[in-house]
Amino acid sequence: MSQHLRTLQPPPFSSVAPTTKLDSFSLSRFSFGLHTSVSPLISISFGCARQTPAVPLSQQGSLQPEEPVFLYLQPISSETHFDHVLLEAQQFDDAIVVVWMANWCRKCIYLKPKLEKLAADYYPRLRFYSVDVNTVSHKLVARAGVTKMPTIQLWKDSKKQTEVIGGHKAYLVINEVQEMIENECTSS
C-alpha cells in the first residue's frame, strides 16, 4: 500500500466548499494542545482521499472549532512552576487537577490518554497538569504527599483537597477522578 497526498479542489463553477471524511489514518489538526475534529482540506490516507458530498456554506454552520477531543496535560517542571500554577489558580478561584506520574510507570502511560480525554470533557472550567516525579525535586513530591504512581490530586486555594491513587484498572480510576471532581467542585 502506498500513501497518497491529494488536495481536494471544489468542482468548477460551484459555490460549495469541499469537505473531507476523516478516517483513522487522516491528518488531524492540532491547535494550542487541543485536538479538534475540524476537517482539514488536505487528507493523508492509505488509498485515495475520499470526498463527502459538498454542502453549501449556509448549511455548514459555524466555522468555529468543535469541542476538543482531548487536551494534553500541561507539564509542571519545577517547584517554582508548581507554586506559580497554584497561585494563578487561586487568583481566579479555580480548582486544578495535578497528575503525578513517572515515565517508567506502565499504569501512568496507559492512564494518560484517558486523563487527556477527561481533561477535554472538563475544559474550560478545570485545568489538568502533569508532573513527572523523576524531573522535579523530591521536596516537591514529598510536599504533595505523593507515595505511589499514578496519583491524581485536586487542588484548590493552594491546598490539596483530595486525591485518587490509580493502582487499578483505568476505567475505575477515571470514574473515581470524575467523582472526586464532581464532589469537590459542587461542594465549593
The Cα 172–Cα 153 span in angstroms is 16
Phi, psi of 93 (to 5 degrees): 55, 45
Q: Which residues are catalytic?
A: 105, 108
User: Which grid cell sits at 171?
Assistant: 476505567
The Cα 39–Cα 25 span in angstroms is 13
Classified as helix, coil or strand, 84 is helix
What letter represents residue 15's amino acid? S
State how far Cα 156 lies from the chain centre. 20
For the chain, how far is it from start to end, CA to CA, in angstroms? 56
User: Which grid cell sits at 90?
Assistant: 487561586
